[in-house]
Amino acid sequence: MSVLVYVPIKEGKATKAGLEAASYANAISGGSATAVVTGNLDGDGGIGSVGIGKVLAFSESLVDNSQIAKLVDAAASEVGANTVVFTANLEGGAVAPRVAIRLNAGYVAGVTGEPEGSNFPRNVFSGKAKALVNVSTDKTVVSVTPNAFGIKEVGGSASVDSFSVDVGESKLLIGEFTPASADGSVPLPEAERVVSAGRGLKGPENWGIVEDLARALNASTACSRPVGDMGWRPHHEHVGQTGVTIRPDLYIACGISGAIQHLAGVNQSKVIVVINTDPEAPFFKAADYGIVGDVFEVLPKLTEAINSLS
Ligand code: FAD
């Protein structure tokens, strides 16, 4: 299988999700995949560490999804790729279908593992079932669900070749760019640990105990939808069916009931800890560990215990 992977770059390095997509590409290609990137690269951006031998680097940083699609299309022709891999994030979700149309390829969004023949696994019905999607076209475009496959470091470095192609004029102009996580915390889709809270916190003035626990665990913070809707927390922290989907190693839910729409965005987390005063709260059914208790008593004790370990 000849495989090309588009790896998003941040500050010269491959993003965590990009390294995961590159790991996937390396696995399904049997170690022969090529990466394509845009913008300034620091060395090979760490891409060689997951087994990729060659990087095609387009020096200009692109923000227009149509331009990125043109670039990836050209790179796929350059290396004769029959499979193109993306990350299943906002950018991947916008670029991958465009590339699929350009290549006349079948597109599978959000794959979770290596294909079985030409059948690609993906989760459906909010993670309650697994579908095997059969691709019958000669070419395939897939996007990899973050935290589903993992980063498989094998060591090594990649050669970097500059790659230039006419991608046309950008139809977008970014006037101002303010990262949502201006405090330096990891963006939610990439976070390995998340402390999340719901209406059980009673009001925005009480979020200090959530942030203290998150700081102790080096975790990012999230919230349920009503908390975002009421303006207690910024909307980009809202997880669930209509918010961000996450798959961290650890998800701690504080004062969240566990409605199906909330679970849809978090139930693929590796370990779920639920803290709730109501022993009948539905979230306990999805929990690996549960504490029936008041967040105002439990969170400070948990934070103190974790801090005492370091
Ligand atoms: P509540 O349901 O009010 O639960 C609060 C919980 O806190 C309760 O279980 C209570 O026992 C507990 N509690 C109270 N006090 C304490 C205390 N002192 N200590 C510990 N526990 C305490 N929701 C999302 O989160 N994400 C979504 O993406 C989303 N999408 C939706 C889409 C649609 C179409 C619809 C209809 C709904 C959606 N919802 C979503 C809303 C969802 O149905 C729930 O209403 C919401 O998740 C409930 O939020 P909550 O658990 O914070 O609040």
Residues 239-256: tens digit of each pLDDT? 998 888 888 999 999 999
Has residue 115 got a pLDDT over 70? yes
Nearest to 262 by CA among 286, 280, 230, 232: 286
256 Cβ inside 6 Å of ligand 1: yes
45 Cβ inside 6 Å of ligand 1: no
Report how far ligand 1's centroid is from the alpha carbon of 124 (Å). Answer: 23
229 Cβ inside 6 Å of ligand 1: no
282 Cβ inside 6 Å of ligand 1: no
Q: What is the pLDDT of residue 183?
A: 60
> Which residue has its alpha carbon closest to ligand 1 atom 37?
261
Mutate to test the pocket of ligand 1, among 230, 256, 275 (most ligand atoms within 8 A of CB): 256
Report how far ligand 1's centroid is from the alpha carbon of 245 (Å). Answer: 16
Q: Which two tokens stand for residue 122?
A: 């993906």
Q: Is residue 82 within 8 Å of 142, Cβ to Cβ? A: no
Ligand 1 atom closest to residue 258's alpha carbon, by position in its atom list: 51
Q: What is the pLDDT of residue 38?
A: 96
Residue type, 284: F
> Which residue has its alpha carbon closest to ligand 1 atom 9?
257
297 Cβ inside 6 Å of ligand 1: no
> Which residue has its alpha carbon closest to ligand 1 atom 16?
200
Has residue 7 got a pLDDT over 90? yes
Per-residue model confidence as pLDDT tens digits over 122-177:
988 767 789 999 999 999 999 998 888 989 999 999 999 999 999 999 988 878 77
Per-residue model confidence as pLDDT tens digits over 271-310:
999 999 999 999 999 999 999 999 999 999 999 999 999 7
199 Cβ inside 6 Å of ligand 1: yes
265 Cβ inside 6 Å of ligand 1: yes
Confidence of residue 112 (pLDDT cuts 50, 70, 90): very high
Residue type, 29: S
Mutate to test the pocket of ligand 1, among 257, 269, 275, 285 (most ligand atoms within 8 A of CB): 257
Report field, pTM of the whole predicted structure over 0.95: no
Residues in CB range of 86: below 8 A, 6 or more apart: 5, 6, 21, 92, 95, 96, 99, 141, 142, 143, 144
